[in-house]
Amino acid sequence: MIEFKNIKKQFGDKVVLDGVSHVMETGKSNLIIGTSGSGKTVLQKCLVGLFEPDEGEIIYDGRSFTEMDEEERKMLRQQIGMLFQGSALFDSMTVEENIKFPLNMFSKDSNAKKMDRVNEVLERVNLKGANKKFPSEISGGMKKRVGIARAIVLNPKYLFCDEPNSGLDPVTSMVIDKLIHELTIEYNITTIINTHDMNSVMEIGDNILYMVQGKKEWTGNSKDIIFSDNKQLNEFIFASEFLQDAKSMRMLEAEGKLSKEQLKKMEENR
């Protein structure tokens, strides 16, 4: 669990985070959503210590990150996995070498043990046998999986993902979402995901923080979104007529005014 209270951050005169508080839950996909410039990336960077907030407190499972010295933060960072936008793989390294990189940095295990772990995570992300390929030889979806394998190779308690679906087609996006979600549950990770992808919001949104201009505007899960009457949230999520219709249908279904069969038929006929 990562709890943060009253986080404030400004650059010059520009207030980017204006007193944000929230709890990111363990074993859940915690999503941060909001329009471009609402402060999602700056918030993630504050949580991992890449930016220092001007005010507020960040607590990792009862340990105050804000009060830790650099040595304590270094230790904590070994429990944090990061999946960067665009995967950020080392082009000159093979898949295997990319995944092994954090182990070489932080683990004192023998080479054989490290390789066992590399192969274990490769298999877990469905890339068994891709060891010797270079990033230029694999698809965007495969690169994301390598990025995920590298992010989880040290068994992190916390996983930060910045736009994990950027640049992927809708089907591959769903595969990647599902994989991150499954790993989150399987290893009981506190996962934080910045996303613009509305499919992700509806499919894996266990705990959603909606930000507007550096402030928390709304919070809830993917089911709550259907019933929310928050005007800004509705305009953001259900931007198209199609999505507004889908929301209305789901609400009717939940109120018992539409059967599951009717709903399925309406969706098929669209």
Ligand X SMILES: Nc1ncnc2c1ncn2[C@@H]1O[C@H](COP(=O)(O)OP(=O)(O)OP(=O)(O)O)[C@@H](O)[C@H]1O
Are the CB atoms for 172 and 87 separated by under 8 Å? no
Span of 19-27, 33-41, 185-193, 251-259 interacting with ligand X by CB under 6 A: 33-41
7, 39, 135, 153: residue in contact with ligand X (rule CB under 6 A): 39
For position 41 contacting ligand X by CB under 6 A, the verdict is yes
CA distances from 208 to 195, 231, 254, 255 (A): 10, 16, 21, 23
Residues 74-103 as x/- pattern, contact with ligand X by CB under 6 A: ------------------------------
Size of the site for ligand X (CB under 6 A): 10
- Give 1 or 15: the residue with its C-beta nearer to ligand X: 15
> What is the residue whose two structure tokens read 């030889």?
137
For position 157 contacting ligand X by CB under 6 A, the verdict is no
- Give 21 or 85: the residue with its C-beta nearer to ligand X: 85
3-class secondary-structure state, position 82: strand
Cα 27–Cα 28–Cα 33 angle in degrees, nearest 5: 155
**Strand (E) or helix (H) holding 208:** strand 207-212
- Give 37 or 129: the residue with its C-beta nearer to ligand X: 37
- Give 49 or 135: the residue with its C-beta nearer to ligand X: 49
For position 164 contacting ligand X by CB under 6 A, the verdict is no
Are the CB atoms for 27 and 34 separated by under 8 Å? no
For position 20 contacting ligand X by CB under 6 A, the verdict is no
Integer distance in angstroms from the first to the last C-alpha of the chain? 41
2, 4, 7, 16: residue in contact with ligand X (rule CB under 6 A): 16
CA distances from 260 to 43, 202, 221, 267, 270 (A): 40, 18, 21, 11, 16
DSSP 25: P
Residue 152 makes CB contacts below 8 A (sequence gap 6+) with: 81, 121, 124, 159, 183, 187, 189
Q: Parallel, antiparallel, or unpaired: how do β-strands 63-64 and 55-60 relate?
A: antiparallel
- Give 96 or 177: the residue with its C-beta nearer to ligand X: 177
- Give 16 or 226: the residue with its C-beta nearer to ligand X: 16
- Give 34 or 147: the residue with its C-beta nearer to ligand X: 34
13, 36, 241, 256: residue in contact with ligand X (rule CB under 6 A): 36
Least gap, CB of 173 to ligand X (angstroms): 16
Residues of this chain that bind ligand X (CB under 6 A): 11, 16, 34, 36-42
